[in-house]
Copies of this chain bind each other. A is one copy, B any other.
Amino acid sequence: MSVKLPAELRDLIESGPLAHLTTLNADGSPQASVIWIGLDGDDVVSGHLGRYQKVRNVERDPRVVLSFEAPRRPGVVMAEHAVLYATASVEPSDATWDLLNGLHKVYVDPAGEFPAPRKPGFVLRYRVDRIGGMGPWAAA
């Protein structure tokens, strides 16, 4: 059963925070990548133009965590951030470049185009199972 994302969390995701994705290697050790994320309904999604380690890891074990920060506020001790525990799936997709191009407009340049050749790739879809962290989105 996936979690409905609170409005404040949706707003944070749509503001373009770098997301720290942890997947699990074959030996059970953690693997981390810093990625762009977007929303598709109550799922979080990311795009990848190659079958990278994180994609292969998700194919083997869908248990992942995404964490990202809210803008830091001077003088605040407990910095706001979100931790999303999720079940991920891999979708080979011809629309991967379009997803990345849309995210590029959020993360890099509203007027620019994603600077990689247009080609098929993989969409990682994260069904959020539990929300943690520090902020209005975190369970008490």
Which residue numbers of A lie inside 8 Å of B, CB to CB? 18, 20, 22-24, 28-34, 61, 63-65, 67, 69, 72, 75-77, 79, 81, 83, 85, 104, 107-109, 112, 115, 132-134
Known A-B contacts A30-B64, A81-B34; A18 and B72 likewise in contact (beta carbons under 8 Å): yes
A22 lies within 8 A of B79 (CB): no
Determine the distance from Cα of A30 to Cα of B33 in the docked complex, in whole angstroms: 14
Q: How many copies of this chain sit in the oligomeric assembly?
A: 2
* B residues less than 8 Å from A31 (CB atoms): 65
Give the interface SS of chain A, mostly helix, strand, loop or mixed.
strand
Give 5 A-B contacts (CB < 8 Å), ordered by A residue.
A18-B72, A22-B32, A28-B28, A30-B30, A32-B132
* B residues less than 8 Å from A23 (CB atoms): 30
The listed residue with most B CB atoms (<10 A of its CB), out of A22, A104, A132, is A22
Determine the distance from Cα of A112 to Cα of B76 in the docked complex, in whole angstroms: 11
Chain B proximity of A69: nearest CB distance (Å) = 6
B108 lies within 8 A of A32 (CB): no
Determine the distance from Cα of A29 to Cα of B28 in the docked complex, in whole angstroms: 9
Determine the distance from Cα of A63 to Cα of B32 in the docked complex, in whole angstroms: 12
In the complex, the 5 A-B pairs of residues with the closest C-beta atoms, listed nearest first: A20-B20, A22-B22, A34-B81, A32-B65, A29-B63
